[in-house]
Amino acid sequence: MYNLFLKDLRLQKFMILFYIGIICLYQINLTNLLFTVSVIGCMYMFNAHFNDEKDNNHKFINSLPYSRKTIILSKYAGTLIFTFFATVFTLAFQLSMDAIIPHFGIKIGTLKEIGASFVIIMVLTSFYLPFFYRFTNKYLLAGFSIVFLVFLFTWKKIINFMDLNKYLLKINTHFSTTELSVFIFIITLVLFISSYFLTVRIYERTDF
């Protein structure tokens, strides 16, 4: 699995520079860690899957001495590992900016934001991978990518339109922060693990 993760990193070596640029740009524009890390982690996951589907690379991957379970596990685990590194880099950039330009106004990410970003990525991964391994289509992938790019530039307007903050405040009045965090973590973990086994089942039934 380690070698498969390194393979995904090598295939995205130029994209990693793009990810770094996005992180720096977002932080200069005072975007919080939650949104920054969520975007970067999801982009990595999308591209890791897309690179396997591009030019029938999945046929080459399946010729390697790895089980299909290991191939799928590398996508799920790899996404979390990359998200961890993205989080570390974002925090390092925030701390550096705060030390160099203390009056810039940059806000250091909190543990709550870090946890929430991992939850978002795990949930999106849980739905994305089984769906696109089952219904692989280059037009579908392209359409999803366009929708994601539109969201990158309009997310603030979408959140304000849906008035999500009002619903979050209502939830907080019924549950304590600890209770809510534990509940969300358990649900997300169950969803993530269930998604992995579902994707393995789909992938093992795929005829290459």
Q: Is the pLDDT of residue 94 over 60?
A: yes
pTM above 0.85, yes or no: no
Give SS3 for 41. helix
pLDDT of residue 73: 93
Phi and psi (nearest 5°) for 104?
-70, -30
Compare 63 and 166 and report the one with higher pLDDT.
63
Answer whether residue 32 shows pLDDT above 60: yes
Yes or no: say if 41 and 34 are a contact pair by the CB < 8 Å rule: no
- Which 8-state DSSP code applies to residue 108? P
175: DSSP letter: S
Q: Residue 92: pLDDT above 70?
A: yes
pLDDT tens track for 158-168: 555 545 555 55
Q: Choose between 21 and 167: higher pLDDT.
A: 21
What does the mean pLDDT of the chain come to?
A: 82
Give the pLDDT score at 119: 92
- Whole-number Å distance between alpha carbons of 204 and 191: 20
Q: Domain limits of the chain?
A: 2-204
DSSP conformation class of 109: P
Q: What is the pLDDT of residue 162?
A: 47
When pLDDT is averaged across residues 122-139 and rounded to a whole number, the result is 82
- CA–CA separation, 35 and 28 (whole Å): 14
Instruction: Identify the CA nearest to 90 among candidates 7, 13, 24.
Output: 24
Has residue 155 got a pLDDT over 90? no
How does DSSP classify residue 205? Answer: T
Q: Are 96 and 17 in contact (CB under 8 A)?
A: no
Higher pLDDT, 154 or 117: 117
Region for residue 54 given its phi and psi (left: phi exceeds 0; alpha: psi -120 to 50; beta: otherwise): beta
